[in-house]
Structure 1
């Protein structure tokens, strides 16, 4: 199957598929089959994390597909354990669980408020990019100030910052900052952060109206919007029909009026955690997931 997905060139010269498939909150027992469905649909980019508990199953699905698949995973950084040796060991564990010959993109999952130890973790990732089977490094949920800290300390700019981003929280200032510094913006919760909030976003009458005009669903309109504003977008679903629907976005284009109408939906306030205050480990202790976090 030819790949219709546009690719973006990152600041390290590598390329990333702009549409990917996320596996947050997909149970281990369902992950292999769900990812296999996504790959058979045409996705060639899968986003997982150590904290999701399903890296091994993602690796099984990727290896079984026979396809060239871009794989992202993330460093689970529990508070004060941020640091060079911890990050290096965590990469090795993720690499072993995935069972692939390399990892395409490795992210610090959250900066965590304690102590700024994420600077040392970033130093570790810069070394891993040199020493390990790893192509690109980046971060997730970093503010512009936190990005400044790691770049000032190391001289190395992340290739990607993965953040909450959807029509109700468009991160305009952060996206502008990224563009000025050559950082690609990647959207988690791209259809609306968390299940309950996503329902509100996708029921928005503006998105419904635009969808009707193009013969598309509101979800397809939102994914197309992400592609056209230049973000990397990783929708997640366990429903095979929705997985296919989310991928069917390459044969239509939103108009300038459509884009302006969606821009006007921005409410400016996040629904997910604030990176400056969030105590990330609470989300994953004992595998106690909250469906409104990512």
Structure 2
């Protein structure tokens, strides 16, 4: 039996390694999303009071002009948004001195979500400060959240899902936690308060979910610990509150629009040394989720690898001015 010459074996392995690394880098380039950009129509909003007249959106770089912005990413949510709007406005009515806006970002829905919200709000909540933005492309949940955050007016900016799974009244817990990190009167104070369902792991809310869903949940948590956000017990809860300064620091740098965008934000916060408070909140599962357990779990794993690879290779980094470097 003939054996390969040691030097020939070495060069064969080296060549295979180089080819493998080159293919991996090409895959990274293919999977890395381009820098996000906004189309002209996406820089406008409409209101239930005047749904036919688009108005220019403000910028996160402007000074805050109200207390709380509530950003709601919505993709085909005509069935679930009424409950969310009802519980949100019912709670906010208890705080008449708190100024707020609800910014619904329609992520290029096919069920007329934007038109539905405008009509529903005009009929049920004509005095509520509701704005609707319609995206011309389906960006994904992270893209819709990013867009809303970049055009919100609040001193505090809350991301909340359209399904009403989180009890909106728990926003007071997040506000209290954020006030401890970034007092309201300090415009440059950095802080993030995130809702957490980690305390519900042993309860019926989680136990009754399918074996596959729970298996993937625990697998994701293991991967996240390896990725560097193991200090956060629940990265995926769709109930997160940001100080305006933190939103200014985080969302212009966000690159991922898929389900893993929460992890990117938390890694960015860790990198920029923005304090994060994890706050237990009430939560229940709501039918109609757009999440495909297997497909989206695999996409989240892929995007997590893309995120860490781009950060480790310095392709996603920041210069002294704090701007995102070009690839």
Fold match, TM over 0.5?
A: no
Pair member with larger Rg: 2
TM-score for the superposition, normalised by structure 2: 0.27
